[in-house]
Amino acid sequence: MARESSSDHTSGRDAFRTPISRFIVSSGAERPRVEQEYEPGSTIANRYLVDKTLGVGGMCTVYLVGDKTRKDRPVALKLVAGETNSVRIETFRNEFRILSHLEHENLIRVFDFGVLGADGGFYYTAEYIDGKDLREAAAGVPEETLVDYIVQACRGLEYVHSRGYIHYDVKSGNILVTGDGVVKLTDFGLSALAGRGLGKRIRGTPAYTSPEIIMMADVDARADLYSLGVTLYEIVAGTQPFRTRDLHDLFHKHVAEAPTPPRSVNPDVPEYLEQIILRLLAKNPADRFGSANAVIAELARFVEGEIELQPASSVEGYLRTPPLCGREKEMNQAAFALGQLGKGSGRHVVIEGVKGIGRTRLLREIFYSAQIEGYAAVFGRGSEPGLFSSLADSLKSFPQIESLDHPGSEGGEDGRSVPEGAAAAKSALPDALARIIAASEQTPVVICIDDLQDADTYSQKAIKRLSQLLATSSAPPLLLITSFRNDGGSPGTYAPGVLRLSLGPLDRGEIGEAVSRMFGQSRAPEIFVSRLADSTGGVPHAVVETVRMLVASGNITLVEGKWHFRGGVEVRGSLVAGRVLRLAGRRARRPSPQICPQPRAA
C-alpha cells in the first residue's frame, strides 16, 4: 500500500505527520455557542414540544419532543444552531439525505428536515431510541447476546453497503441497542457513496480509522469493517487496540503495528471471536472479510443454533425501498425547478404516468430534496379531506412564516372562473389557497400533492386556479408539484409553462440495476432480468412486487453474492436476500460466560 510523500527521505512515524485540517471528524470539535437553548415545555418550529434534552455534543443538541402531527409517539429532534462552518452544515444535511433513502430494522429512521429561520439553525427528526450504546449494552452480557448484537450490526452494515454507501464512522457510540435488544446504526453524517474520492480529507474518528483512509488509498466498504473490528476489540478487551494521545503516532499504529491479541488482555474472550476481530483489523483490506455478511457467516460456524444473514423482517427493508433507478432526467429537471424557486420563480410541475410507474416515489424524492434545501415544503394527498386547509396549517410550523393572512383572500369555494390578470387571480382564490400564497410571499414554498386524481372537484378546480396563477409573470415563489395517475387517458389541459414529467417504463438495463442493488452489488443474471422485464412491462412497482412475491418460497436465493435458481429461471418461486445458516453445533453446550468487561469509569 503506497503512501504519498513530499520527500523520499521521510520515514518512520514522520511519514504519518498529517495536518489536523485533513480530518472531517464526528466528535471532539469545540461546540459553537448556541443562541437559544430550548427548555422543557418550549416549542421548536411551532410544531415540536420539548420534553427534555437527550444529549449535547459536537455541533448538535438532541431533544426528546412531541410532534403535533405524530401524536402516537415521541421523536428525537437533532438540532444544529449557531454553526457557521459550511462543511459541518453540509455534514448535517448529508446525514438526513442518506437516511431518507434507507430503511432497515437495524438503522435509525428519519422523518422531517427543517430550517429555523435565517440564523436559527437546522434540524431533523428521527425515531427516538431509548437505549444504550453498544459498549454499554454489551457489558456483562452472555456470549450469545453479544454475538446477536454483532450480527445485527453486520446486517445493518450489509444493507448500507448494498445501497452503495460507506458509513465512515462506525464505533460504539454510533451503534445503539434498544431495551428490546434491537441494534440501530446511527450518525450517518460522514457517510458517502462508495467510490467517491476523499481527496485530501479523512473521514471518521481517528481511533477507528482504517489504514487505507489514512494512506489515501482506494476505500470501499471494508473500511467500515476495520472500524467494526476496533469497536469489537474495545468491547471485549475493555480498551482500544491502539492508545496514544499523539494523533500521528496513532496513525502509525493503525498502519504499521499489529494489535495485541484480545485474549492477552481478557482471557475470557473466545478464541473464534478473537480471530474474527483480528481479521477485521487486518492492515490490508484484502485480508479482511469481504463483506459484513461474511462476518455473520463466520460467526455462524462457531455458534449453536441458527443465524440468518437477513431475516424476513430485514429482507423487507431491501424490498420496501429499492434504489431509485431510471429517473435521473426527471430528478435533474426537478432540481432545476428548485433552483429557480430559490431565485423567486414559481411554477407547476406535474408527474404523470400509469399506476405503479413510480410517481409517488419520485415525488417523495423531490420533497426530501426541497426540505434539505431549506424550503418550506409540505406534503399532502389528493384524497385528504380539507386538503388545502391542512397544507396551509402545516405551513404555520415554519418559523420564517409569520402570518398567513392574505388581504385579497375573499374567494369562495365555488368553481367560478379566474378573472384575467394575476391580481384578479389571487382575489378569486379560496381562503385556504390564499393563505398558502401569503406564506410564499414570505419565503419560497414547495407544495407536493400525491394522487391528484383522487381529489374532489373543489380541490381539482383550486389546483387549476393556482396553476393559472403560477403561469403569470407575477407568480409568487411557490413550486407546486402534483402527481396524477394517467391510466391511458389524459389528466387534462394545463396552463402554459407547466412542466410535465411523464414517466415511462424502465428498460432492461434499469431493471437489472434496480434488482441487483436491492440485494447488494451482485449483478442479476441477464436471462432473469429479461424474463422480469417481459412479465412486468418495466413498471417499477410490478418489478418490486414480483420480486416480493418471489421471496417466500425460496426458489431463488442469493448465496455469498451468487444467484441460485431452484428449477431454473422459469421458476415462479421466491427470491431470498439471505440464507439460513444451519449450524451443527461446533462446540458442546455449556453455560455462556460473560466475556465483556464492565466499562471503566472515565
Which of these, 178, 191, 189, 223, lies nearest to 80 by C-alpha position? 189
Q: Which cell numbers hold the place of 255?
A: 498502519
d(CA 541, CA 561): 24
Catalytic residue (choose from 67, 148, 169, 187): 169
Q: How many residues does the chain have?
A: 602
Helix 431-440, helix 387-395: angle, nearest 10: 30
Whole-angstrom distance, CA of residue 322 vs CA of residue 142: 36
3-state SS class at 227 = helix
**The three grid cell numbers given for residue 568, joined into one nine-digit string:** 431454473
Among residues 473, 470, 401, the alpha carbon closest in space to that of 440 is found at 401
Q: Read out DSSP for 512-539?
A: HHHHHHHTSSPPPPHHHHHHHHHHHTT-
DSSP, collapsed to helix, strand or coil, labels residue 111 as strand
> CA torsion angle for 531, 534, 537, 539 (degrees, to 10)?
0
Instruction: Say if residue 110 is exposed, middle or buried (CB neighbours under 10 Å; 0-12, 13-18, 19+).
Output: buried
Q: What is the DSSP letter of 421?
A: S
Cell digits for 22?
485533513
Handedness of CA 493, 336, 196, 167 (dihedral sign): negative
- Going by C-alpha positions, the residue among 591, 557, 560, 555 that lies closest to residue 576 is 557
Q: Is 574 helix (H, G, I), strand (E, B) or coil?
A: coil
3-state SS class at 349: strand
Count of other CB atoms within 10 angstroms of residue 479: 27
Amino acid identity, position 415: G
Residue 527 burial (CB count, 10 A): 12
Neighbours of 403 (CB within 10 A): 11
Side chain identity at 119, as an amino acid letter? Answer: D
**16: closest CA among 170, 196, 209, 166?**
209
Q: Which amino acid is at 424?
A: A
| DSSP secondary structure letter of residue 587 | S
In degrees to the nearest 10, what's the CA dihedral of 100, 104, 109, 113?
A: 0
Annotated catalytic, 169? yes
Distance of CA 33 to the CA centre of its chain: 28
Q: Which residues are catalytic?
A: 169
